[in-house]
């Protein structure tokens, strides 16, 4: 068995949320095709000067966005997770390590829950903080957002499921059971006004929101400074 076949066989033993090109024709089977993640990555990273920056990826799971930040020239990337990394079925840390090894990616990793994140627990802050697909999974999303925000020196990039867009004031709906996608870990659906108001409360002075294609998911770039912002005409 050649190296690519062995890698494909090893990767195929696991569940993958992210589709990751591991090289030599091996692409993991994520919840969406690789092209989906490439388009999403462009929306997340293109507005930001990633090269030379430090990046924290909260809720990294298989690591697609951590590896992409490094590929785009980030000076340092720290991937963190806990739920997906210790879950006995998801086995996210194992998949992260498979991808990190296959890519030869200089990405650091730390198993730490969102509820434990702070400048003190990590010992530093980061130019760019990724908070992608995490907010609505937290029972206390405001605490999670506050912790993520405290770690962002220049920009916090938050991506979340949204709801209640017909409400003309900040609002958030709770899903106490499995109402959202039959997943009991989906707790909240904020509207864009709610997310923007919360980000302003955390001291971000300029916030840009972008819809991702035809879905209820929205990405927010919350800026403390304009130093890393790619300005468009």
Instruction: List pLDDT tens digits, range 101-134.
Output: 999 999 999 999 999 999 999 999 999 999 999 9
For the segment 35-51, the average pLDDT, to the nearest whole number, is 97
What tokens appear for 179 in the block? 């109402």
Domain 3-223 homologous superfamily, CATH: Vaccinia Virus protein VP39 (3.40.50.150)
Sequence-separated (6 or more) residues with CB below 8 Å from residue 198:
142, 145, 170, 190
Sequence-separated (6 or more) residues with CB below 8 Å from residue 179:
186
Tokens 């770690």 sit on residue: 151
pLDDT at 180: 85
pLDDT at 233: 59
pLDDT at 214: 82
pLDDT at 2: 64
Number of neighbouring beta carbons within 10 Å of residue 110? 15
pLDDT at 181: 83
Q: How far apart are CA 191 and CA 30, in angstroms?
A: 27
Half-sphere exposure of 216 (CA within 13 A, CB side): 13
- SS3 at position 108: strand
pLDDT at 182: 84
**Mean pLDDT computed over every residue of the chain:** 96
Contact 164, 171 (CB under 8 A): yes
For the segment 4-32, the average pLDDT, to the nearest whole number, is 96
Residue 1 pLDDT > 70:
no
Residue 232 pLDDT > 80:
no
pLDDT band at residue 213, thresholds of 50, 70 and 90?
Answer: confident
pLDDT band at residue 88, thresholds of 50, 70 and 90?
Answer: very high
Give the chain's radius of gyration (CA, Å): 17
What tokens appear for 120 in the block? 């003190």
Give phi and psi for 26, each to the nearest 5.
-100, 120
Collect contacts of 5-10 with beta carbons under 8 A, ≥24 apart. 7/98, 7/102, 10/98
State the pTM of this model. 0.96
Half-sphere exposure of 214 (CA within 13 A, CB side): 0
For the segment 127-178, what is each residue's pLDDT rounded down to a tens digit? 999 999 999 999 999 999 999 999 999 999 999 999 999 999 999 999 999 8
Q: Among 22-26, 67-71, 176-180, name the one with the lowest average pLDDT.
A: 176-180
Tokens 């990337």 sit on residue: 77
Beta-sheet pairing, 108-111 with 172-174: unpaired
pLDDT at 33: 97
């Amino acid at each position: 068995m050649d190296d690519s076949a062995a890698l494909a066989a090893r990767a195929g033993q696991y569940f993958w949320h992210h589709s990751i090109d591991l090289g030599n024709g091996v692409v993991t089977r994520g919840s969406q095709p690789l092209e989906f993640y490439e388009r999403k990555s462009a929306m997340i990273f293109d507005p930001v000067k990633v090269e030379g920056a430090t990046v924290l990826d909260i809720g990294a799971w298989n690591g697609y966005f951590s590896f992409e930040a490094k590929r785009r020239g980030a000076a340092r990337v720290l991937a963190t997770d806990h739920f997906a990394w210790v879950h006995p079925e998801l086995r996210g840390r194992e998949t992260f390590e498979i991808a990190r090894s296959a890519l030869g990616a200089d990405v650091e990793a730390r198993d730490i829950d969102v509820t434990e994140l702070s400048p003190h627990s990590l010992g530093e802050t980061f130019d760019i903080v990724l908070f992608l697909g995490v907010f609505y999974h937290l029972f206390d999303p405001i605490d999670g957002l506050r912790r993520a925000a405290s770690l962002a020196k220049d920009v916090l990039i938050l991506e979340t499921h949204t709801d209640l867009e017909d409400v003309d004031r900040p609002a958030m709906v709770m899903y106490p059971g499995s109402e959202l996608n039959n997943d009991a870990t989906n707790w909240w659906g904020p509207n864009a006004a709610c997310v923007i108001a919360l980000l302003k409360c955390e001291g971000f002075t300029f916030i840009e929101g972008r819809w991702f294609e035809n879905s209820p998911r929205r990405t927010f770039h919350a800026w403390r400074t304009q130093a890393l912002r790619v300005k468009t005409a």
